[in-house]
Structure 1
Amino acid sequence: MEIAQNAALLVVDVQKGFDETGFWGPRNNPGADDNIASLLDVWQASGRPVVFVRHDSSTPGSPLRVGYEGNGLKQYVAERRGKGAGPELLVTKTVNSAFYGTPDLDAWLKAEGILQVVVAGIQTNMCVETTARMGGNAGYDVVVAYDATYTFDLAGPFGWRLSAEEAARASAVSLHGGGFARVVTTAEVVGAAR
């Protein structure tokens, strides 16, 4: 795998509100935050661009709502903002895709000449997946660092329910098998980016 020298790391919705397990329920992949931090460190040390994405929920009572502490980026992410040698952007959004945020992510990537994006963050099967799908549809070479993402148990129609691990795997299969993105490990991305 090759990681371009100007590949952008999209750090999606790594916010304090996702630590409120009473709201979200059981999650998978307890090592995700360490993997996200590793990606950030490699990107910032190499001068590659980093895009921080924050979900500004308009849902009353959401742990991600504007004005609530949970809306803020997790401490390890907030501490790394502004520390890299490369370009940096903060995108805020109210929907699943970072491509429907402010400022316009697609316009920024094009202006920077970026053709490849690496996606990490929360939730695997929601904002990470939607951002990756839209990036693939827009023609970007999308790489998802699977173990630098996590999600929560999810209820669906007909009484169906998926555990967080099942939901994350289904997302990975759809993205990779459907040709939207290459789903890989953090170690693979870090090894290729060094």
Structure 2
Amino acid sequence: MYNALLVFLFFILIMALQARHLKCEFVKISQKNLNIRIALISDIHMRFLMVPSDDAAKAISKNNPDLIIIAGDIIDKEKHIYAFTRWIKKVSGNIPVYLVLGNHDHSCFKKNPKSKDIFMLNIKNLGLKLLINDSTIFRKNGKSVNLIGIDDYRQGKTNKGLALSKKDPSADMNIAISHNPEFALS
């Protein structure tokens, strides 16, 4: 029993150390020479976030993205809304932020419906763009990209048709954003 507890604690320690490490990966999309840099952040889970906002802000600033996309699972409880507000202000600087909701966000809103109103108000006040079955255009250097947000496949109300109907057909590229990519298989 004692050995099993030691092994368990060892794995918890390793996971905690890994959770403090910020990992930056890059994918180059060479279609139409868009030259747009995107920082994609997913599964923030403010309740468990161990990467200091200063570290995240430095990593994002160093990589100089044109926009930040947050692919859901931001909060688990209403009290995390305010922590996220402080965190994203520090991390994003003046970079435009687009986001979709994940299953944890939806679970929070179902448990406490007023938390959704508070979250939406905070998002609006910060100037962030929430894409729930919606599309918006991001422009840079005469090029345009449709950012198409699809609601969470498991907990939300996914409506690909609605989101796609709002895209600009003249855009140079389409980027679909969803917390749960199973929507692509549906």
Q: TM-score, normalised by structure 1?
A: 0.40
Structure with the bigger RCO (C-alpha within 8 Å, sep 6+) is 1
TM-score, structure 2 as length reference: 0.41
- Which structure has the bigger radius of gyration? 2
